[in-house]
């Protein structure tokens, strides 16, 4: 029998385009259960718990929650704090004081680890508490998950961006470098491959953190493509590393570190500029451009995958159902059960926590500068329906009257 008490929800880490779908899924489902006396939301993740910055979401309208669900980024705000066991003890103290009996934490692998420690605190204290970690990350780097909510929409943005870049560079020639988010996992950068429709479309080259980046090989690759097509469109992960494992970008500037000791790779465009400068200097190509997609790719308002929306909503709903009906703790994971269908399973925190999933070898070509069809088959359904399709003019050439050659 499920315990009577309150529900608490928090969101953590980098926002996504659909994380509020998960919030709405949890709140709306939790409000259906008689044993749930209140549904609280903590502001700024664990910070809001420790500081008791809590909202009573039981008093939020269903209609507004549906509007919030369509709004990108974390409606309960977020935090980069990674709690140690002392911090987790503070969290538990507040949960207990407020008679929280169901704690849903939406986030990545760090959040799964927090959920694990809080759950242990509860068991030690013999306090009846259900703790469920609900997955979220555009990086798509959580263990056991076929993919994670938030990834599909970010991947769709990257794909649509490169579709436009293909057309833009085709019109004006030159070399283009698009720097995409993804510290350790290249899934998001790799998604740019879906932008290819016509022969000669980019991205012609894709560089991922899963493969060692060599500037020499990079320049050879670019030269080969440019000589063949007269253009070269490149997708590069912000996380590409050299043989020593050092991020290429760290060779450029003193990068700030966040609370997790992670080097800041986004919010600066040095990597794109460095690569562009190298191409100008070594290959002496005049028109070289670089863009860093930056924060637009995770929070642009108006580019979302409907599949991603549905799953983000459902994973929240299922999380509540698991806690209420099965009296269990753990991390909800998404498994692919068909082409295309998914189901949700509860796994142990420790199998998700503080680990990172990267792209399997079968998704990366042997040269390490592009993806395989296996990856395209994997990623396409996640982008959702109604992806735009570029069309070229294909009219016959007019015979020349003069001799210009």
Restricting to residues 93-132, which ones interact with a copy of itself according to CB under 8 A? 93-94, 97-98
- Structural element, H or E, at residue 205: strand 205-207
212 binds a copy of itself, rule: CB under 8 A: no
Position among 36, 155, 165, 180 found at the interface with a copy of itself (CB under 8 A): 165
Q: Is 295 annotated as a binding residue?
A: yes
Position among 120, 146, 242, 273 found at the interface with a copy of itself (CB under 8 A): 273
Position among 163, 194, 234, 371 found at the interface with a copy of itself (CB under 8 A): 163
Position among 237, 290, 305, 309 found at the interface with a copy of itself (CB under 8 A): 290
Q: Is 102 annotated as a binding residue?
A: no
Helix (H, G, I), strand (E, B) or coil at 274: helix
289 binds a copy of itself, rule: CB under 8 A: yes
CB count within 10 Å of CB 370 equals 20
CA 181 to chain centroid, in Å, comes to 8
306 binds a copy of itself, rule: CB under 8 A: no
Helix (H, G, I), strand (E, B) or coil at 158: helix
- Tokens encoding 329: 């703790």
Decide: 23 and 37 in contact? Cβ < 8 Å: no
- Footprint (CB under 8 A) of a copy of itself, residues 41-80: 41, 50-60, 64-65, 67-68, 70-80
Please, which residue, 243 or 286, has the CB nearer to a copy of itself?
A: 286
Query: Cβ of residue 129: shortest distance to a copy of itself, in angstroms?
Result: 17
Position among 164, 198, 281, 328 found at the interface with a copy of itself (CB under 8 A): 164
Q: What is the DSSP string of 20-39?
A: HHHHHHHHHHHTT-TTEEEE
Q: Is 280 annotated as a binding residue?
A: no
- Footprint (CB under 8 A) of a copy of itself, residues 7-36: 11, 14-15
List the catalytic residue out of 139, 141, 201, 221.
Answer: 139
Rg (CA), the chain: 23
Residue 242 burial class via C-beta count within 10 angstroms: exposed 0-12, middle 13-18, buried 19 and up: middle
250 binds a copy of itself, rule: CB under 8 A: no
Q: Quickly list H helices, 258-362.
A: 270-283, 296-299, 306-326, 349-352
Query: Tell me, what DSSP letter sits at residue 330?
Result: E
294 binds a copy of itself, rule: CB under 8 A: yes
Please indicate whether residue 139 is annotated as part of the active site.
yes
Helix (H, G, I), strand (E, B) or coil at 295: coil
**CA-based nearest residue to 82, from 36, 122, 113, 41:** 113
For 12, phi then psi, to 5°, come to -140, 160
Residues belonging to the binding site are 14, 109, 137-139, 181-183, 238, 295-298
Residues belonging to the binding site for diphosphate are 14
Residues belonging to the binding site for Mg(2+) are 109
Residues belonging to the binding site for substrate are 137-139, 181-183, 238, 295-298
* Residues assigned a catalytic role: 139
């Amino acid at each position: 029998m499920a315990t009577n008490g309150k529900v608490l929800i928090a969101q953590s880490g980098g926002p996504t385009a659909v994380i509020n779908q998960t919030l709405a899924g949890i709140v709306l489902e939790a409000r259906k259960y008689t044993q749930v006396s209140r549904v609280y939301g903590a502001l700024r993740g664990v910070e809001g718990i420790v500081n008791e910055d809590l909202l009573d979401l039981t008093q939020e309208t269903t209609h507004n929650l549906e509007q919030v669900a369509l709004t990108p980024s974390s409606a309960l705000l977020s935090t980069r704090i990674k709690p140690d066991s002392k911090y987790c003890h503070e969290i538990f103290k507040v949960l207990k004081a407020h008679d929280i009996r169901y704690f849903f934490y939406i986030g990545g692998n760090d959040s799964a680890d927090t959920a694990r420690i809080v759950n242990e605190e509860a068991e030690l204290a013999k306090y009846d508490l259900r703790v469920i970690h609900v997955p979220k990350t555009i990086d798509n780097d959580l263990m056991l998950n076929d993919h994670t909510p938030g990834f599909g929409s970010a991947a769709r943005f990257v794909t649509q961006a490169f579709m436009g870049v293909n057309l833009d560079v085709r019109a004006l020639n030159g070399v283009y470098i698009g720097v995409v988010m993804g510290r350790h996992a290249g899934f998001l950068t790799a998604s740019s491959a879906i932008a290819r429709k016509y022969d000669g479309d980019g991205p012609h080259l894709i560089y991922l953190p899963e493969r060692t980046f060599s500037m020499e090989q990079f320049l050879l690759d670019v030269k080969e493509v440019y000589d063949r097509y007269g253009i070269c469109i490149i997708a590069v992960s912000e996380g590409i590393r050299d043989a020593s494992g050092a991020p290429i970008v760290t060779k450029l500037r003193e990068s700030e570190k966040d609370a997790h000791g992670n080097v800041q790779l986004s919010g600066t465009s040095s990597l794109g500029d460095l690569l562009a400068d190298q191409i100008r200097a070594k290959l002496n190509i005049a028109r070289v451009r670089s863009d860093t997609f930056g924060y637009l790719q995770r929070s642009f308002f108006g580019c979302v995958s409907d599949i991603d929306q549905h799953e983000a909503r459902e994973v929240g709903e299922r999380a509540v159902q698991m806690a209420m009906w099965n009296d269990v703790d753990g991390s909800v994971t998404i498994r692919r059960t068909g082409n295309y269908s998914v189901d949700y399973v509860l796994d142990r925190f420790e199998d998700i926590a503080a680990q990172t999933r990267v792209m399997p070898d079968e998704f990366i070509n042997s040269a390490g500068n592009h993806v395989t069809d296996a990856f395209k088959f994997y990623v396409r359904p996640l982008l959702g329906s109604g992806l735009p399709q570029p069309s070229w003019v294909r009219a016959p050439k007019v015979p020349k009257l003069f001799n210009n050659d």
